[in-house]
Amino acid sequence: MKFVATGDWQLGMTAHFLDDEARPQFQRARFDAVERIAEVVAEHDARFVVACGDVFESNQLDRRVIAQAFDALRAFDVPVVLVPGNHDPLDASSIYDSHRFIGGMPDHIHVLRSSEPHEVVPGVEVIGAPWSSKRPQRDLMAAAVEGREPAPDGVVRILAGHGAVSTLSPDPDDPAVVEVSDLQRTLADGIIHAAVLGDRHSTTEVADRIWYPGAPEVTSRDEIDPGNVLVMDVAPDRCEVEKVNIGRWAFTVVGEELDSVEDVEVLRRRLQGMDAKSRTAVWLRLSGTLSTAAHARLQEVLDEASELFAKLDAWERHTDLAVMPEDADFEALGLTGFARQALDDLESAARGEGNHSDADVGAAQDALALLYRFAGGVR
Amino acid sequence: MRIESVTLRNYRGVEDRTIEFDDGVTLISGPNEVGKSSIAEALRLIRTKPDSSKAREIQAITPVHKDVGPEVVVVVTTGPYRVEYAKRWRKRATTTLNVFEPSPEQHTGRDADQRYLEILKETLDIDLLEALEVQQGKSLDQPDLAQLRVLQNALGDEESDESDDALMERINAEYEVYFTPRSGKPSKEGRALSDAVQELTRERDRLMGQSQEMQAFVDEHAERGVAIDRANRSIASMEEELAALRAKDKELRGLAESRDASDKALADATERLKRACAARDERREAIAWLERTDAEITEEQSVLDERDADRESAAEARDAAHERARRLEKEQAEVDADLTKLRRALDRHRAVEAVEKLEARVKAAQQADDDVRAAEAQMEAEKVDEGALKRLTKLQQDLRVAEAAQEAAAANITVRAMGDHSVGVDDDTVQPGAQDSRPVIDPVRVTVDGIVEVTVQPGRSPEDLQQGVDAAHAALVRELSKLQVADIAAAQESAERRHRASQAVQDAKARRDQNLDGAELSELEVELARIQAKVSEDAPSNLGESDTWEARIAELDERRTGLVEELASAREELEERRESASEAHTVHASAQAALEEKRRNADQHRRRLTEAREADSDEALEAAVEQADIAVEQATAMRDEQQMALDEADPESVAEELENLEGSLETQEKVRNDARERRSELQGLLRDRERLGIRDLLDDAEAELEEVTQRYERFQRRAAAIQLLHRVITARRDEAQARYVAPFTSEIDRLGKILYNEEMQVEVTPDLHIASRTVDGRTVAFESLSGGTQEQLALLGRLACAQLVDREQGAPLILDDALGFTDEDRLRALGRALAKVGRTTQVIVLTCQPDRYKYLGKAKHVTLPLRGEAVSSGEGVGNDS
């Protein structure tokens, strides 16, 4: 029995750091990803889909997102089980309780509002551990199976929930942490046959039969392995998992050490060589020391590249790049007299000589670049 | 640079004129309007305006009534070049440049212009060209020398070149993108970005607040849900407890009702006991009362018997007193009768004596009364009384006065008897020798017996005198008539008689009054009649002698007085006895009545007691009391037992608990209802917020804020960079300029000595403007100096500059009608200074007053004729050619 495990669709999510043109495309990409999951279902002959929470980015979204979601969900011809997570909990503002959702929900969509076993297809039960608030005070996965008998013969049971597991949680004191050992015991007791969770956007095997399928489309540059869904084949005596990549977007951190104009060229070529630039956000982590001239070149390179990528976070915040004037830079410009003296002053400040703050040093480096440009060094 | 010649054709009013210049000083003079200024102007225009120019300045130099274009040809030497540059504007516009040295070149049109500029730029600083020209009317303005590179080079900065200017321009232009040029405040764009960041931050925060508020509603909604569950649980358990408590309360109520019934039974028994006691006590009282009353009746009967005796003795005493009083009254009546008899006899006896005396008085009085009447009749007959007599006498007198007045007015006759004859005058006789004199009022008859009779007739007397006499006479006659007397004498007699009658009346009246003694005669007569009647009564008999009567009366009076006293005391006693008897009677009667009443009352009670005993015997009443007492004891015991049971069950705390629990239940229900109500309210609020799509708005706002923030940060970073660059380079440039100040200042000071023949110092700013001049320790700001001095100092600046600049790189110094403010002495000194500068620099002086410049030393002097075609180029003062 095959099904597709997924989660963290985060429909309605935007990325404010993206450029103006890229932002709507990125938002659209999440709906496109849902449609591609339908393709995976068809390709693998899966019998249903389980989405483990955070289907929607927020309960505070404009309700138009429901129509868009239903439109994307029409691509499925198998049941799709949605389990509310921490971004879309079943609280008083729940998107699942809105008139538009209840009124327009297609028949093959099922929202698990309790932990009663839900027979999604004959012989398969899904037990959901839905979130009813943003801060549950206990392990909802454990609560969902508490007191349950082992699955009857001939029935496969899947536990679907959301949240951090004890082995990966950054906050072990969080009462909502999902205790992995409890899950394993439940599995061992035959109460369930597999557990899938949302919340972690990178595809992760927590333990045997315990999986995070991850987000089908990247949402943050910190994610290790996003853009996947899991095709799971589960039986009481079997659990085969296939990871299928469907993500189209990439959030990439590019680190380069730049110490010469040649290094700048290497960076330029590296950026040039990247695919799908309009769906790629790049964070540069640049370090090293460049001459004023080389820095001027770097800026030209980055100016060009930023026009191609969905995002090129080049300067200021993630850069540890020093710009040091070199005599050669300015010699060709032949500055004399007071201009030369001003150049000397700025060079001294740019090297941090004397009583200068970092901001002063930065400003001096920038001023040198300007001087370099105005004196005819560039263009 | 040196200008060899300038040719003007069809230029303003000049048809065709060529002026050649000396290498040193050239003085060009001529009256106004001959086109001196045109030379300087032509040098500028040929350089700055292409032949195609339609600029206002070109229109201004075009001749008005000719169909020709203005044309300028200059021949200049600059650096290694010697060129002829010719330009015609407007009509058949053309430009040509002939380079003669160092190697021949020819250019036309734009090429010519460009090449000429190239040559100029290569060999000199065009700014210097402009700085060294003193245009007409601008001699007080100081030239901008600080940016002159040739000067900078001359002053020690050999590296300065035009690229510095371009650099500064770019830096300033960039700076002005970020800051205002003067105050260095953030530019409009910077402010707009900053404002946008603030505005978007506010918007983002607002939306964030809305989002958080919505989440707070959600959280509260959940909390309220928990509260409702909690309340529901409390309510359920409370309702259970409440049911148990209510059952117990009901049981206790039953117990309390029984206790209340026992209370009632006890009260009834107590009441019955009270009534039985009362009945028994009443019976005892009735028996005791009857016994007491019977005893009293016996006692009071004996007292009544005593009272009866008292009453009888009092009646006897009263009767005795009555008898004594009656006896005394009788005795007094007898005395009174005797007294009456005696007194009547005495009265008659005294009346007989009184009648005799009274009869005599009446008679005398009657006689006197008759006399009065007779005398009064006589008086009545005599009319003249004293008053009438006086009136008559007065009237007589009046007549005599009237007559005397008449006589006085009448003629008077005096008759003297002569001789011995007597003369008769009327009835009188005048004896001889005597005389008679009288008035003639009536005819007077004078007779001498026998001899003569003369009658003197009176004249007529005045009428009023006559009337007076007549009136007096009439009045007298009338009065006499009225008094019925003939004349005055008769009147006097009558009056005498009347007086005597009056006296007689008086006498008779006195006599009568004496007899009457104050009474009226009629009264006396009545009295007399009365007394006479009394006397006529019978004389009493058996009374003895009348002279004993009075003594006997006195004796009887005395006896009567004694009797009266005795009778009064007897009557008093009688009254007392009567009162005592009456009182005794009353006391007895009332005691008797009381006793009888008492007896009746006692009988009545006795009857009642008998009847009561027939109904309930004394013994039965006593037994009833005993029985009731036992019943009370029993009821008390039962009630106490029930009360004790009730006290043990503590119904008050049960009721309290019940009340408390009901209150708590109500509170919980209210808590639950409030929570429910708030939940629906929150649900409503959430439905409302839901529609906003806060998250989408917030995402958009954050994206926009992010973008603008980045732009702003980049802007600020660039601003910081350009600000720093601008600050550093401006400071360095100012420093460099400041270094030029010293040599420039000393050059001005040096030239100043020539001009002022004295120690003079100027202060020069970094931009090479003269700020002030100091002479004899007095420093005056440039602006405060006189026009002449300002003009001289401005020129000195130019001279210093011309002097300092490298000879090869120099430009001609052109003075167009300058020094108009300068006096003669200074002009002379200035001439020396110009001549000195002229040794190294070409100096061209244009003036309409050549006298001003007569001390120019060796100079070429060109005089321009008024509208002349030819140019007279002659020898000026000290001209060396």
With CA atoms as reference, report the closest residue to A144 among A102, A176, A108: A176
| Residue A264 pLDDT greater than 90, yes or no | yes
| Residue B737 pLDDT greater than 80, yes or no | no
Per-residue model confidence (pLDDT) at position B162: 65
Per-residue model confidence (pLDDT) at position B873: 41
In chain B, what residues touch A20 (CB-CB under 8 Å)? Answer: 703, 707
| Residue A186 pLDDT greater than 90, yes or no | yes
In chain B, what residues touch A336 (CB-CB under 8 Å)? Answer: 159-161, 164
Average pLDDT over residues B613-617: 88
Per-residue model confidence (pLDDT) at position B876: 37
**Confidence band (pLDDT; 50, 70, 90) for B428?**
confident
| Residue B692 pLDDT greater than 50, yes or no | yes
Query: What is the nearest CA distance from B79 to chain A, expressed in angstroms?
Result: 24
Name the residue among B157, B217, B720 with its Cβ closest to that of A92.
B217
Helix or strand or coil: residue A118? strand
Tell me the CA distances in angstroms from B175 to A377, B167, B463, one per residue in order: 19, 12, 162
Q: How far apart are the first and last CA of chain A?
A: 66
With CA atoms as reference, report the closest residue to B511 among B659, B368, B648: B368
In chain B, what residues touch A359 (CB-CB under 8 Å)? Answer: 720
Per-residue model confidence (pLDDT) at position B66: 78
Name the residue among A16, A342, A360 with its Cβ closest to that of B706.
A16
Q: Does B717 sit within 8 Å of A316, measured CB to CB?
A: yes
Q: Mean pLDDT in chain B? A: 83
With CA atoms as reference, report the closest residue to A11 among B212, B687, B696: B696
**Confidence band (pLDDT; 50, 70, 90) for B123?**
confident
| Residue B257 pLDDT greater than 50, yes or no | yes
CA angle, residues A72, A74, A77, in degrees to nearest 5:
130
For B22-57, the DSSP string reads -SSEEEEE--TTSSHHHHHHHHHHHHHS-TT---HH
Higher model confidence: residue B576 or residue B155?
A: B576
- CA-to-CA distance for A342 and A335, rounded, in angstroms? 10
| Residue B878 pLDDT greater than 50, yes or no | no
| Residue A378 pLDDT greater than 60, yes or no | no
The tens digit of pLDDT for each residue in B444-474 reads 888 887 788 888 887 766 677 888 888 888 8
With CA atoms as reference, report the closest residue to B400 among B349, B473, B329: B473
- For A193, phi then psi, to 5°, come to -115, -15
Q: Where does chain A show beta strands of DSSP type E? A: 2-6, 49-52, 80-83, 109-111, 118-121, 124-128, 156-162, 194-198, 204-207, 210-212, 228-235, 238-245, 250-257, 280-291, 311-313, 320-324
Per-residue model confidence (pLDDT) at position A182: 94
Answer whether B215 touches A (CB < 8 Å).
yes
Per-residue model confidence (pLDDT) at position A355: 72
The answer to whether the beta carbons of residues B395 and B421 sit under 8 Å apart is: no
The tens digit of pLDDT for each residue in B219-236 reads 999 999 999 999 999 999
In chain B, what residues touch A363 (CB-CB under 8 Å)? Answer: 717, 720-721, 723-724
Higher model confidence: residue B339 or residue B459?
A: B339
**Buried b or exposed e, range B762-790, using 16+ CB within 10 angstroms:** bebeeebbbebbeeeeeeeebeebeebbb
Average pLDDT over residues B842-869: 75
**Confidence band (pLDDT; 50, 70, 90) for B870?**
very low
**Confidence band (pLDDT; 50, 70, 90) for B414?**
confident
Percent of chain B with pLDDT over 70: 93
Q: In what order do the strands lie in the sheet with B94-101?
A: B14-20, B2-11, B71-78, B81-88, B94-101, B105-108
Suggest the residue from B210, B211, B725 to mutate for an interface test with chain A (most A CBs closer than 10 A): B725
**Confidence band (pLDDT; 50, 70, 90) for B867?**
low
- Cross-strand partners of A160: A128, A196
Number of H helices, E strands in chain B: 17, 21
Per-residue model confidence (pLDDT) at position B146: 67
- CA-to-CA distance for B768 and B152, rounded, in angstroms? 11
Per-residue model confidence (pLDDT) at position B770: 84
Is residue B847 within a helix (H) or strand (E), and if so which, with residue range? strand B843-847
With CA atoms as reference, report the closest residue to B705 among B190, B191, B189, B196: B196
Locate the domains of chain A by residue range.
Answer: 2-245, 250-374
Contacts 24+ apart (CB under 8 A), A163-168: A163/A53, A163/A85, A163/A86, A163/A131, A163/A136, A163/A197, A163/A198, A163/A199, A164/A199, A164/A200, A165/A197, A165/A206, A165/A210, A167/A206, A167/A207, A168/A200, A168/A204, A168/A206
Q: Which CATH number fits domain A2-245: 3.30.365.10, 1.10.3720.10, 3.90.1150.10, 3.60.21.10?
A: 3.60.21.10
The tens digit of pLDDT for each residue in B765-785 reads 877 788 888 887 788 888 888
Per-residue model confidence (pLDDT) at position B32: 65
With CA atoms as reference, report the closest residue to B4 among B70, B98, B67, B114: B98
CA angle, residues A158, A160, A164, in degrees to nearest 5:
135
- CA-to-CA distance for B859 and B429, rounded, in angstroms? 192
The tens digit of pLDDT for each residue in B348-359 reads 777 777 888 888
Average pLDDT over residues A194-207: 96
With CA atoms as reference, report the closest residue to B153 among B854, B846, B810, B828: B810
- CA-to-CA distance for B755 and B749, rounded, in angstroms? 10
In chain A, what residues touch B691 (CB-CB under 8 Å)? Answer: 63
Helix or strand or coil: residue A6? strand
- For A196, phi then psi, to 5°, come to -120, 145
Per-residue model confidence (pLDDT) at position B427: 82
| Residue B156 pLDDT greater than 60, yes or no | yes
The count of C-alpha atoms lying within 13 angstroms of the C-alpha of A80, restricted to the half-sphere facing its C-beta, is: 25
| Closest residue, chain A, to B225 (C-alpha) | A92
Query: Could you count the other beta carbons within 10 Å of the beta carbon of residue B345?
Result: 18
Average pLDDT over residues A252-268: 91
Pairing state of beta strands A2-6 and A49-52?
Answer: parallel
Of A289-303, B283-297, B404-418, B696-710, the range with the lowest mean pLDDT is: B404-418
Burial class (CB in 10 A: 0-12, 13-18, 19+), B734: middle
Is residue B173 within a helix (H) or strand (E), and if so which, with residue range? helix B162-178
- CA-to-CA distance for B6 and B84, rounded, in angstroms? 10
Of A214-228, B104-118, B368-382, the range with the lowest mean pLDDT is: B368-382
Higher model confidence: residue A83 or residue B861?
A: A83
**Confidence band (pLDDT; 50, 70, 90) for A314?**
low
Per-residue model confidence (pLDDT) at position A156: 96
Percent of chain A with pLDDT over 90: 65
Sequence-ordered list of residues with C-beta below 8 angstroms from that of A28, at least 6 positions apart, any chain: none
**Buried b or exposed e, range B582-611, using 16+ CB within 10 angstroms:** eebbeebeebeeebeeeeeebeeeeeebee
Average pLDDT over residues B195-219: 93
Per-residue model confidence (pLDDT) at position B159: 58
The count of C-alpha atoms lying within 13 angstroms of the C-alpha of B432, restricted to the half-sphere facing its C-beta, is: 5
- CA-to-CA distance for B809 and B126, rounded, in angstroms? 10
**Confidence band (pLDDT; 50, 70, 90) for B160?**
low
Name the residue among A57, A93, A316 with its Cβ closest to that of B218.
A93
Tell me the CA distances in angstroms from B763 to B744, B780, B802, one per residue in order: 10, 10, 19
Per-residue model confidence (pLDDT) at position A379: 43
Average pLDDT over residues B235-244: 93
Query: What is the nearest CA distance from B666 to chain A, expressed in angstroms?
Result: 27
> Residue B600 is which amino acid?
R
| Residue B720 pLDDT greater than 70, yes or no | yes
Q: Does B163 sit within 8 Å of A92, measured CB to CB?
A: no
Residue A264 in tokens:
């700048």
Average pLDDT over residues A276-286: 91
- CA-to-CA distance for B9 and B94, rounded, in angstroms? 13
Region of B777 on the Ramachandran plot (φ > 0 left; ψ -120 to 50 alpha; else beta): left
Q: At what angle do helices B188-381 and B162-178 cross, to 10 degrees?
A: 50
- Asked if omega into B102 is within 30° of 0 (cis), the reply is yes
Name the residue among A98, A341, A374 with its Cβ closest to that of B171.
A374
Average pLDDT over residues B578-592: 87
Per-residue model confidence (pLDDT) at position A115: 94
Per-residue model confidence (pLDDT) at position B880: 33
The answer to whether the beta carbons of residues B140 and B134 sit under 8 Å apart is: no
| Residue B118 pLDDT greater than 50, yes or no | yes
Answer whether B739 touches A (CB < 8 Å).
no
| Residue B124 pLDDT greater than 60, yes or no | yes
Per-residue model confidence (pLDDT) at position A316: 56
Pairing state of beta strands A311-313 and A280-291?
Answer: parallel
Tell me the CA distances in angstroms from B231 to A205, B246, B666, B674, B677, one per residue in order: 44, 22, 11, 11, 14
**Buried b or exposed e, range B685-715, using 16+ CB within 10 angstroms:** bbeebbebbbbbbbbbbbbbbbbbbeebeeb
| Residue B869 pLDDT greater than 70, yes or no | no
Sequence-ordered list of residues with C-beta below 8 angstroms from that of A266, at least 6 positions apart, any chain: A256
Q: Mean pLDDT in chain A? A: 90
Name the residue among B167, B695, B702 with its Cβ closest to that of A61.
B695
Residue B730 in tokens:
């401006």
